[in-house]
Chains A and B, each alone.
Chain A
């Protein structure tokens, strides 16, 4: 199709870009130890956690921003960011859905996650994080029966301090990297999940993140602990309103899969990507990592369509023998979006296995890079990795890059890497159009076909949503 069509199809407006008029209680911009003390006091945190935060902050002060990613953006002034924003009406904390600000609930409905309905639909328990505070967690009763803990991490600090203290920072250390250290210092809220030994979590768990307040950063922190032989599937969704200035999102996610446990973590990320000229949008600098013990399995699935700049590498440390790591990714960039995303598979145990399927789609004038590390340690006898890395280009002004890193220190380890780059061809579009499909529908169908291997890993209802999201994100990309 022609460039003009492509431009039209890519230029559809951001559907989640409304601002909610909710009074909020926002900390003035800027970061120092007092800000950290304020956040910690606001959450009534125990001393050990305040110290933990301050230690992270001191470490962070000595670190510099990573520059190796294939992305370009003006320097971020972290003193312009507000590190805490809480909707005012939430100050005392809602006891139940009935106490939740009706405007908030209306906003969630606008986003298509009506909490009330979801309560009835039974199947997905949602922990909704609005700016920095968890708003409501549904289905708690049913989960409690199974012994599953699913609550805001700020609450877990009080109700299950021994678990939080034992595991926080155990997968992503406080000084792991610049943004992880920043998050450790200022994290405001996030989700906490604990699945007891041998328990199969009775439903999908889900968190919904939204940045609403202007000039706020969102620093949520998620910790999932799956005890021996337990199973859990967790999904997070993200949106933000349209704003001219860039907003920072620096999250940390830690997964602990103990012996024989399985954690499936799915992300549908639709942060505001900026406008068609590249103005505004979210900077999404996220550290996600899981440790898999013996016979455990960690599976990351991500559909990334939003954010102005993405810097994100959900990784697996395959510590225990026979542990399995998986990474299934669809990353779509349009207009002036930039993504540098991929994974790290660190094979430490014997007979560990990992699979990486990455699908990058670039449209408009965007840049999309896959960066992946597969490391076979000297003890990883019999370890195997398979990587498939496919890029699809739409139009002739976008870019796709692949940066695979393979380090093998064990002669018995097997690493396979396959990569392809293709274009949505004029002939494919012509065939679709000759059959009566308009160009936009055709591109979305071709792109969905390209992503099929990843979508089939998503929980059913989200696979449909992901398909629609791609369609919306590609609007204006067809010519």
Chain B
């Protein structure tokens, strides 16, 4: 589904990713861990096509297409979803309106008609329940005045409504209490399917207790320096990252 080869990328002239390789197949869940400043969030933004993030070398193939040749919105319509670490507010634009516009943009791409408003509203209300958000949030401006935890659940809500092929979660677990973490995990687990893959960027092993990854990768110095299964995360929890960084050096 996603093939990243020798990816180099820079932000404001600083090289962040330095030859990253990663292969994600449909149905898999990958966890990306690593020390602060190793390029974990940059990876998500480079894949999503954030302006100002420049790819200097390498290739990314997503669902058979050259991902890097596509515009940000084209990548999204193809089924790439990034759950933001710090979602911004869009005052006055209701969550409902925003999500419907997003879903309709995807449908248009596939040559389908816009989703019927009543059907959409019904499904959005149900999804709200699944992520433990009051349906009143649908009428509020996108993230407007939401608490940190509500913003994260709102990201999950959008992901569940959009049903992407690849979900990238950028530290969706940070700042969440244990109950909210379980809500997020339940949401992601309910979406796991042979057709869909997830890449989860996280600092903490505890998320992986709830969403069991197929692979764990350690990103350090802009490259993946170690890959393994779930046990690698436990080892990191016990030993930290320093020993790996030493090995790489």
A binding-site residues for B, Cβ under 8 Å: 1-2, 425-428, 430-439, 441, 445-446, 448-453
Q: Which residues of B contact A450 (CB under 8 A)?
A: 91-92
The answer to whether residues A437 and B105 also contact, given A2-B51, A426-B51, A430-B72 and a CB cut-off of 8 A, is yes
Inter-chain CA distance A439–B73, complex, in Å, is 8
The answer to whether residues A434 and B76 also contact, given A428-B90, A449-B92, A450-B92 and a CB cut-off of 8 A, is yes
Q: Which residues of A contact B98 (CB under 8 A)?
A: 432, 435, 445
Q: Which residues of A contact B106 (CB under 8 A)?
A: 436
Inter-chain CA distance A1–B102, complex, in Å, is 18
Most buried by A among B98, B106, B158: B98
Are B93 and A434 neighbours in the complex by a CB distance under 8 Å?
A: no
The answer to whether residues A431 and B90 also contact, given A436-B76, A437-B73, A449-B141 and a CB cut-off of 8 A, is yes
The answer to whether residues A435 and B91 also contact, given A2-B51, A430-B72, A449-B141 and a CB cut-off of 8 A, is no
Which parts of B52-83 form the interface with A (CB within 8 Å)? 52, 71-73, 76-77, 81-82
Q: Which residues of B contact A426 (CB under 8 A)?
A: 51-52
Interchain Cβ contacts under 8 Å between A and B, 12 examples? A2-B51, A426-B52, A433-B73, A434-B72, A434-B81, A435-B98, A435-B162, A436-B77, A436-B162, A439-B73, A441-B101, A445-B101
- Shortest CB-to-CB span from B117 to chain A, Å, is 14
Number of CB contacts from chain A to chain B under 8 A: 78
Query: Which single residue of chain A is at the shortest CB-CB distance from B80?
Result: A434
Q: Which residues of B contact A434 (CB under 8 A)?
A: 48-50, 72-73, 76, 81-82, 84
Are A436 and B73 neighbours in the complex by a CB distance under 8 Å?
A: yes
Q: What 5 pairs between A and B have smallest CB-CB spacing?
A: A449-B92, A449-B93, A435-B102, A436-B105, A436-B76
Residue from B51, B97, B101 within 8 A of A1 (CB atoms): B51
Query: Which single residue of chain A is at the shortest CB-CB distance from B75?
Result: A434
Q: Which residues of B contact A441 (CB under 8 A)?
A: 101, 105
Inter-chain CA distance A390–B87, complex, in Å, is 23
- Shortest CB-to-CB span from A429 to chain B, Å, is 8
Inter-chain CA distance A441–B73, complex, in Å, is 11
Q: Which residues of B contact A435 (CB under 8 A)?
A: 76, 98-99, 101-102, 105, 158, 162
Are A431 and B162 neighbours in the complex by a CB distance under 8 Å?
A: no
Which parts of B157-197 form the interface with A (CB within 8 Å)? 158, 162
- Shortest CB-to-CB span from A418 to chain B, Å, is 14
Q: Which residues of A contact B162 (CB under 8 A)?
A: 435-436
Q: Which residues of A contact B84 (CB under 8 A)?
A: 431, 434
Are A437 and B90 neighbours in the complex by a CB distance under 8 Å?
A: no
Inter-chain CA distance A425–B52, complex, in Å, is 14
